[in-house]
Amino acid sequence: MNLKRTYWILLSIFAFVLIFSAAAFAPMQKNYVFINNKSDQVAAYVPMVDTAFQIKYTHSIHLSDVLESYKTLPDNTLVATELEYEDFNVGMPSGAGDGEEFVEKDGKYFIKNMQREMPEFRLLVGDVDAGLSFLIKEKELDLKAALERGTSYTFRVQRLSFFQQLKGVNIYEQ
């Protein structure tokens, strides 16, 4: 009888460890993820609370705000949908591409109806005192406060396990 009891206790412990490991290491929720390009580690993430988001930054040359709008497809593809800016200077487009619409309104320029798909993109967090934010669900998250200045990151949608989330910073909850 004692051997049978020991067998069930060991089997229960094994099952518990197996379930715990699966829960800790199996990818769960989709997140917007910033991966440090030097270490290839998750540096920060934002839970995917909406499929639409924006990145707002201050252009380093003409010091005006630029707003890039994106949406996420079910297969995790990122789609640039709109660009808003104030100057035609260096680094900014002077017109729309095929199928896109260029609009000038209230001193700002817009490229609308964009459908530029990409699996991921690179983001350099400059070491200058200029704005860089991630906007989602009417919440503006300061990327310069969460990410290391002067560092390059790969941005993509990815499912993260509980263990991976412990390694990164959830900037949505800061």
Each domain of the chain, given as residue ranges in start order, spans: 29-173
Q: How confident is the prediction along the chain (174 residues), in pLDDT tens digits per residue?
A: 587 888 777 777 776 766 665 555 555 789 999 999 999 999 999 999 999 999 999 987 777 899 999 999 999 999 999 999 988 777 778 788 899 999 999 989 999 999 999 999 999 998 888 899 999 999 999 999 999 999 999 999 999 887 777 778 888 876
Cα–Cα distance, 69 to 92 (Å, whole number):
15
For residue 127, which amino acid is it? D
Residue 73: C-alpha distances to residues 18, 28, 48, 70, 149 (Å)? 33, 18, 12, 10, 30
Please indicate, yes or no, whether the overall pTM of this predicted structure exceeds 0.85.
Answer: no
- Measuring CA to CA, which residue among 44, 42, 30 is closest to residue 141? 44
Over the stretch 15-50, which tens digit does the pLDDT of each residue have? 676 666 555 555 578 999 999 999 999 999 999 999
pLDDT at 162: 79
